[in-house]
Structure formats: structure tokens, C-alpha cells
Amino acid sequence: MTDFAEDNEKGDSAEEKARKNWSRYVYVRAKGHEDYIQTANLNEKFAFKNEQWSQESLDALGKRPALQLNMIFQILEQMVGQQIKTRVDMGFKPKSNAIQKTAEVLCKLARQTCDDRRYHQHESDAFLTGMALQRAFIDMRLDYSDNINGEPKFETLDPRQVIPDPDASEYDPDSWGDVTTTRLYSHNTIAEMWGEKKAKKIKGSLNSNSRDPGDSIDPMEGFRYNAFGGDAVRPQDHVDSVKHIGKGDKLYRIVERQYWVRGEYPFFIYPQGDMRIVPVDMDPDYAQFKADRDGLTIQKLHGKRVKWTVSSNTCLLYDDWSPYRHFTVIPYYPYFYRGITRGLVDYLISPQELLNKVVSQILHVVNTTANSGWLLPRDSVTNKTPEEIEAHGADTGLVLEYDGDKPPPTKIHPNPIPSGLADLRAFALDIINKISGVSDQARGFRQGDESGVTVKLLQDRMGVGMTRAITNLDQTRNIVARNMLHLFQDHYTSERVVMITRNRGHSRASQEDIELVLNQVHTNEAGEEEVLNDLTVGEYGVKITSTPSFDTSRERNFEELTAMRNLGVQIPDTAMIEASSIPDKEQLLETMSGAKQGEDSPQNQLAQMSAKIDMNKKEADTGMVLAQTREKEMATKEKAVSIAEKIADDPALADIADTIEQDDVIDEAAIPEPAVAEPQING
């Protein structure tokens, strides 16, 4: 990390500070940033501008076709779609002198800030920019346009306007020496932001014929950041600190630099030994009051603090301590290795060029087939000249009259399309798919008889190829959450009311807004004043989790509930409706809830109890009748068995049993006992 302790020296004039700031800009721009701008412009042409042929190649082709099959754009769209399906959930966990309740309040505040200030959209823009241009930057600072106390604001910066410390090699900006951003502003914009006096000073100190020390960059560099106007206006005489945009109009280059300054600064010391630098804009009396209230001590220690300088090449616009603990610029690098940044487009340019050349050559061969030319004996054609045949020889219905004494005109047989061109085309597409990790199946296209389940698995596997890019995105999210936490603790010091969205169900319609009061002074039961939801107290750790987006999560939940229900799990109907995407489902749930409440009313409950008693009585009566019937049936069966035993002993009793059965009366007593033979006693 570069040491800028010398910038803390006193006594430099405003003009000298401006020139020092400009000299640093010239140095960091020349040390690698010019090369990066050329690479980023080339990647942008291939990915978004559809300018994949260089002018030299177009001149060499002449009238031959130059096709551009932009596969890079489709791959970027697919990857951004995967990123959009997940969203960050920033959480905080208590560490030193912190409580869980305040950590939960910070989680709610961070979640609401991301939703209200459209962080997720800026993150998706940064993800797309990083994958295409190697680098992306999100600027987070306080915005005072809607709230006098300030609210966090996110802005996605053009990476060609941001120059990180060229001597740094780590991802986290806290390890950099400085970060520089440069933009072109009109006179009116400068007057609005920094005052008319300074705007006139800049205008008077620069003129269109001067050539300042920063004129080493490409003349069009200032216009390479994208805008709705494009590159329609092209200045002829370039001066890096001044741009002509029309008759009498100029754009002035402004350099904004944030850098660390080392020195002795006051720190809050916690009982556990943790340290936190006292915010630069905190009143010393309030800092001492806070230390006494929270059991802290204030001690001057060696540390670093962010300095903020804004200037043109000769005029100082702003030079003071930054109100933030960190740089406002937060990077995202999809592929990062010790200061080396790469994006996906870097590796797709060569195979994309190969694909364009192959398909253009195939089209050229097809075109030559239709107008391959003619073999004509000299002066043989009587109705057209050779020039006319050259221009219209491939027209439909062409009629040629020729001298019968000479051989007839013969059409030149075209060369067949080389088989190697088709192989090269397939090879280029295969290389693009392998490098990007996005195959046809990952984009939802089936091959042959592949099932939908197979395609779904291949789409899920696409995320494996994005592991590094998503891991670095999580690192960026961690830095955003850390800086946001410190922003809350340093600037949300007075009482304020924020609206927090709470979910009462699984749908957006079930969300409600509730008031959350921060830093509210409250008198407890002991008569002592205490601050509720005090964000300034305690140290908290950052916890980042990636969760599916609302729509994706709802679809997955519904699929899982349906699968469990099909397996026999008793899933309530209300849970299925809440997880569905049907319109007006809240009204349906209220209708079902109202019907259920009507069923649970006292009158209905009394009627249900009465009906249940009647039902139980009827069931009891029916059971008694059935029991009596079963008893009679058993008795009858026992009598029948007894009669059968008697008939078996004396078959003559069968006729008597038949007579009794015809009378439908079975009386066991009416059947005489079978005769028993007397034993013979031999005397």
C-alpha cells in the first residue's frame, strides 16, 4: 500500500494542492490505466456495440460479407440471469459490547436500505459490467436530497473513470493507498456543485490551446464513457483538462481523489480492547459524553484516516477529511489474482472472431455460387456487353443471344463449400460454450431426446462454472455490508424514524410497513435515561448469505410443497395458496379464513355439538340393535349345532327337524332325545 503521510503536511497553497492532486492523477493514469481503457473499449465493442470487425479487416474484405454472430451477448445475458435469481441478505452478529436486539435492528435497516435504494439493481449492473469490462465499481455515500440527515445512495460507476491504486495488489480498498475518479463537467455543473466563483476560476485558468501535463492519454478517452448521446461529437484539438462539445461549450476534467493519511487520531477504546476511530465530524463534547455513557475511553493512537481532495489541474475545489471511515468506491472483479483483473469477455474474443470469419466465408462461397461468372468467346454475345453480363449475369430470367457460329456462353462451375468450414464453425461454437461454461442445454435447448429433467440438471450445473465470479461478488457484498454498518454507526446518531417492510406471508401483498425508531431516548422504570435501538454502541460482525430471489424462492417452495403433498404429507390448503403465484390470492385466503371463522362461531359450535350428540345416540342405538341381532344369531347357530349333533346320533330325527323348519320355529326341546340302546347283560 502506498503511504501518503506527506499529504498531511500543512502550509501548501490551494493551487499547490491542486497541482499535487493532478500530478497523482497523471501518474496513476499512465501506470496501466491507459492500457486498461483500450482493453475495456475492445471488450465493450464485442459485447454490446456489435463492432466486432476492426476497420482494417473491413477494408481488407472489401465487398465480401462481414457477419457478426454475437454469442458473447447471449452468454452474458444467461449469466446475469443466474445472478439475478439470487440476492444478498446482509446480516450482523454482535461482538464486543453489543446486543442481539440491536443486531436485528441493523439487519432490518440494511435490508430496507438495499430495497429502498435499489442496491440489487446496482449489483446486477456491476456484475454485468465486471464480466464484460474486467472491473466494476459501486459508489456508496450519503445522499441529502430527500433527508436532511442523509440516506445511503448507490451509484454504478464506469470503470474507465475509476483508477485504483496501481501499486496495490489486494481486493479490499482498505489495503489501497488511494482511489481516483475523473469526470468531465460543464461550467454550469461545476458552478452548481462547487460555486460560481470556482467555476469561473477554472474557466479562466484553462483555454482550448493550452496543453497541460495530463495530455498523454488518447484524445478520445474523455468520451469513452457511455452516454445517451454516444460519440456524435468528436473534438479535433484535444486538451485533456478541457473538451470542446460544441460552439463555445467546454467540458472540464475534474479529479476526485480519496486517500489515506496516517497520523495521531482519537480512538474509542472498548473494555475488551477493540478500537474505533472517532468520526471526524463528531463534536468532541458529544464524543466524551458517549464515552462516559457507554463505558469507553478516548485515547490518541497512531492510525489512518481518509482525506478527500477534488480539483482541476490548477483549481482546488474541495480539500478536507472524508466523513466516512472507508473509501466510497467499492470494487467488483469477477476474476482477480494479485492485482490482475479479468472478465469473461477477455477469453471469448478470439473464438468469437473465428466464428465471425467462418460464417462470413461460408456466406461468401454461397454468394459466389449464384454469380460465379461466365466463359464467353470474344464477341459471341450479341445482346449484351461483357460489362452488363458481369453486373447482371446472376439475374433471374437472363436471356443471352449469341452468334451461332461460335461456342455458346458457359457458366463457370462454382467451387463447392469446403467441408472444413462447417467443422470450423462447430469448433468455434464448442470452444465458446466450453470457455463460458454455458452450453445449449444450459440455455434451455434440448439435444436429441434429452428429457426436461436432464436439461434442468445441466442448467443447475452452470452455476459451478460461475463459482469464482460469485465468490468475488460475495466479497464485494461483504465490503458493502461493512461500509454500510459503519455508515449507520457514524451518521445515524440522532433520533430518526424509518419505515421497515415486514412480511406477514409468502407474497408481496402480505407485506406491511411498520415504524422503527432509532436512537430513541427513553426513561426506564428506575428513572434513568437510556437510548433504545442505539446503533452507535458495540462492535458487530458482518454475515452475508445469498438467498434466491422472491419469485424464484416462491416457485421452488410451491414445487416442494406439491411434491410433499403427493407423497402424502398433510400440507394445509392455505400454505399451498400462499406459495402459489395466482392473482388475488389474498382475497381467496381471506374468504377461506372468513368461512372458517363462521364455522367456529358459538351458534355453529352449539349446533355441531347437538348434531354430534344426536349422531352418537343414533350410533349407540344402532350398535345396541346390532349387538342384539348378533346375540340372536349366535344363539341360533348354537341351537343348530346342537340339533345337528342329535341328528348325527339318530338319523330318524331328520324328518321331525324338517317339519319344524317349515313352521319357521326351531325348538330344541321339541326334538326327542335319541334312543340309547340298553347294554346287554349276559347272564
Do residues 373 and 346 touch, judged by C-beta distance below 8 A?
no
Which of the pair, 325 or 601, is modelled with greater confidence? 325
pLDDT digits (tens, 9 = 90+) for 184-231: 998 899 999 999 999 888 887 765 434 444 443 333 344 445 655 555
pLDDT digits (tens, 9 = 90+) for 230-242: 554 444 333 456 6
Which of the pair, 661 or 40, is modelled with greater confidence? 40
- Can you tell me the distance from the alpha carbon of 43 to that of 31, in angstroms, rounded to the nearest whole number? 20
DSSP state of 149: T
pLDDT digits (tens, 9 = 90+) for 471-521: 999 999 999 999 999 999 999 988 888 888 765 554 455 566 788 888 888
Do residues 324 and 483 touch, judged by C-beta distance below 8 A?
yes
Task: Using alpha carbons, select from 268, 269, 282, 278 the residue that is nearest to residue 305.
Answer: 278
- Strands (DSSP E) found in 294-358: 297-311, 316-321, 329-332, 335-337, 340-342
Cell 479479468 appears where?
A: 342
For 275, the enclosing helix (H) or strand (E) is: strand 275-277
Do residues 572 and 592 touch, judged by C-beta distance below 8 A?
no
Task: Give me the DSSP letters along 542-589.
Answer: EEEEEEE-HHHHHHHHHHHHHHHHHTT----HHHHHHHS--TTHHHHH
> In whole angstroms, what separates CA 245 from the centre of its chain?
37
Which of the pair, 161 or 248, is modelled with greater confidence? 161
For position 5, what pLDDT does the model report? Answer: 40
- Can you tell me the distance from the alpha carbon of 628 to that of 636, in angstroms, rounded to the nearest whole number? 12
* Confidence band for 124, pLDDT divided at 50, 70 and 90: very high
Looking only at the bridges linking them, the beta strands covering 316-321 and 540-548 are unpaired
- Can you tell me the distance from the alpha carbon of 393 to that of 411, in angstroms, rounded to the nearest whole number? 9
Do residues 302 and 262 touch, judged by C-beta distance below 8 A?
yes
- Can you tell me the distance from the alpha carbon of 8 to that of 17, in angstroms, rounded to the nearest whole number? 11
C-alpha cell, 146: 430527500
For position 681, what pLDDT does the model report? Answer: 44
- Can you tell me the distance from the alpha carbon of 20 to that of 24, in angstroms, rounded to the nearest whole number? 6
Lowest mean pLDDT among 15-29, 294-308, 528-542: 528-542
pLDDT digits (tens, 9 = 90+) for 96-111: 778 888 999 999 999 9
139 Cβ neighbours under 8 A, 6+ residues apart: 154, 155, 156, 157, 328, 329, 330
> SS3 of 255, please?
strand
Which of the pair, 78 or 310, is modelled with greater confidence? 310
Virtual torsion, Cα 596, 597, 602, 603, nearest 10 deg? -60
